[in-house]
Amino acid sequence: MKLKEMFFMKFKKWISFVLLSAMCLQLFACAEAEPTESKLGTVDLLTNVKPAPVQQVSITDRHSLASANFAVSLLQNTYEGENCILSPYSVYTALAMTANGADTTTLAQMEDVLGMSAAEMNVYLFALARGTGDELHSANSIWFRQEGSFEPNPDFLQINADYYDSDLFAADFDAQTVKDINDWISKNTAGRINEALESIDATTMMYLINALSFDAAWQEEYEDSQIIDGIFHSASGEEFAEMLCSEENYYLDDGSAIGFMKPYKGEQYSFVAMLPNEGISLQEYISSLSGHSLLNTIQNASEQSVLVTMPKYELDYSSELNDALSAMGMPEAFTDNADLSRTSNFDLKISYILHKTYLKVDEHGTQAGAATIVAEDCKGIDLLQKTVLLDRPFVMGIYDNVNDCFVFLGAIESLE
């Protein structure tokens, strides 16, 4: 039975997930560009570019598999034995927007990594954005330097306005632009990411940005007795942590790891965790995954009681994704051979892709207890009952049950 068809019981807890994916397009030429002092400030171009009506399509299993393959591959190529908190949804969206300005080999590589053509990505992400629910807020923007003879392709701007509701700005790319971009990001991440951009290089001609925030709660609060003191065993040693204890209804087992799903209020999203079996490192487990295997595990969750103990944590993550995406199969976009000729009248390449995330797992009004109580309670309830104790490194994610899509996928090595 697919999870989108299931109904769930749940405890109330807040999880906040904020991320930013920023694509920087840079001029490549023999000499470094010198910005013109236009001093016009930031200009909203939506008055000149109106989104056109788009016919919505249904999301298919092929879309879901392509999205899952990308999510798992991105994790595999980014994880380096430390905390790795990614939003495949955000990165996928930013890349899809960029692909609308790519051509020839550069476009072919991007389409191969993303698992579908640029045209199909547009209609898929358009449909996905309109079915994400109130928990997820995603916003897109394109900023380009208003300078000299640089002109963005009107078709490039139009298609991103049509399918991605993208804000469009022309700016001087000076200190005020840095502030304007950071203000836009802060607004669209509920104030959780405030200083994403420090400065703008003289050769940077355009930014494509996706900002996302996720907030969801369980329907019932944890009781005081469900919050205990515990220990998380990271590679660097023991870390004291508050642990959240509950009985869940969906158990996961793929032969190499066990886990659970903990749905959120509204039933569209679920928290997912997979704990590698003893003797299997997190690195080994992540390397063994595929989009198909992870989707199959989630979509075939066993409907049975499972006792869950998971840590409370608050983490920030930041990474440039150039190397990961190059390794995944799209290296040309980052080189002087890049063909982004459908973006503007200038020769551009991607100088960097910045990905920032903030993740907070919290509880509502609780007090801590003793760690041994849970183990004793688990044994006292049913010796045969499934249990998952997340007291060592694990894979976790936020999964859209309706659209079969990973909004978030990551590896938790440490709570600090």
pLDDT greater than 80 at residue 11: no
Residue 383 makes CB contacts below 8 A (sequence gap 6+) with none
Phi and psi, residue 328, nearest 5°: -75, -15
Mean predicted confidence (pLDDT) in 147-162 = 87
Q: Which residue has the higher pLDDT, 278 or 379?
A: 278
For 370, counting Cβ atoms within 10 Å of its Cβ (0-12 exposed, 13-18 middle, 19+ buried), the class is: exposed
**Among the listed residues 336, 317, 345, the one whose alpha carbon sits nearest the alpha carbon of residue 91:** 317
Q: Which residue has the higher pLDDT, 273 or 29?
A: 273
Measured CA to CA, the distance from residue 298 to residue 250 in angstroms comes to 9
CATH code of the domain made up of 219-312+366-412: 2.30.39.10
Q: Which residue has the higher pLDDT, 373 or 124?
A: 124
**What is the predicted pLDDT for the residue at 250?**
95
- Cα within 13 Å of Cα(357), Cβ side: 26
Residue ranges with strand state E in 121-187:
136-145, 167-171
Q: Is 72 helix (H, G, I), strand (E, B) or coil?
A: helix
**What is the predicted pLDDT for the residue at 41?**
67
Let me know: does 260 contact 397? Beta carbons within 8 Å.
no
**What is the predicted pLDDT for the residue at 121?**
96
How far does Cα 236 stand from its chain's mean position?
A: 26
Structure tokens at 120: 């199909």
**Among the listed residues 346, 354, 330, 340, the one whose alpha carbon sits nearest the alpha carbon of residue 23:** 354
Q: Domains of the chain: which residue ranges?
A: 14-216+315-359, 219-312+366-412
Unique residue bearing structure tokens 């890049």: 338
**What is the predicted pLDDT for the residue at 366?**
19
Lowest mean pLDDT among 64-68, 174-178, 212-216, 285-289: 212-216
Q: Is 45 helix (H, G, I), strand (E, B) or coil?
A: helix
Q: Please, what is the angle between helix 88-99 and helix 118-129, to 10°?
A: 130
**What is the predicted pLDDT for the residue at 32?**
37
* Residue % of the chain over a pLDDT of 70: 83
**What is the predicted pLDDT for the residue at 36?**
38
pLDDT greater than 80 at residue 21: no
The mean predicted confidence, pLDDT, of the chain is 82
Model pLDDT for residues 64-100, shown as the tens digit of each residue: 999 999 999 999 999 999 999 999 998 999 999 999 9
**What is the predicted pLDDT for the residue at 52?**
82
Model pLDDT for residues 387-402, shown as the tens digit of each residue: 999 999 999 999 999 9
Topology of the domain covering 14-216+315-359: Antithrombin; Chain I, domain 2 (3.30.497)
Measured CA to CA, the distance from residue 75 to residue 359 in angstroms comes to 16
Mean predicted confidence (pLDDT) in 51-73 = 91
Our CA dihedral for 39, 44, 50, 56, rounded to 10 degrees, sits at 130
Model pLDDT for residues 323-340, shown as the tens digit of each residue: 999 999 999 999 989 999
Q: Give the pLDDT band of residue 414 (cuts 50, 70, 90).
A: very high
In order of 92, 98, 110, 137, 323, the CA distances from 332 in angstroms are 17, 13, 9, 31, 11
**Among the listed residues 116, 125, 77, the one whose alpha carbon sits nearest the alpha carbon of residue 97:** 125
Measured CA to CA, the distance from residue 221 to residue 35 in angstroms comes to 55
Tell me whether domains 14-216+315-359 and 219-312+366-412 share a fold. no
**What is the predicted pLDDT for the residue at 193?**
80
Model pLDDT for residues 133-153, shown as the tens digit of each residue: 778 888 888 888 887 788 889
pLDDT greater than 80 at residue 221: no
Mean predicted confidence (pLDDT) in 196-203 = 85
pLDDT greater than 60 at residue 382: no
Cβ contacts of 335-338, under 8 Å, gap ≥ 24: 336/28, 337/105, 337/106, 338/28, 338/102, 338/106
Structure tokens at 13: 């807890």
Range among 23-32, 46-55, 158-167, 390-399 rated most confident? 390-399
Q: Give the pLDDT band of residue 13 (cuts 50, 70, 90).
A: very low
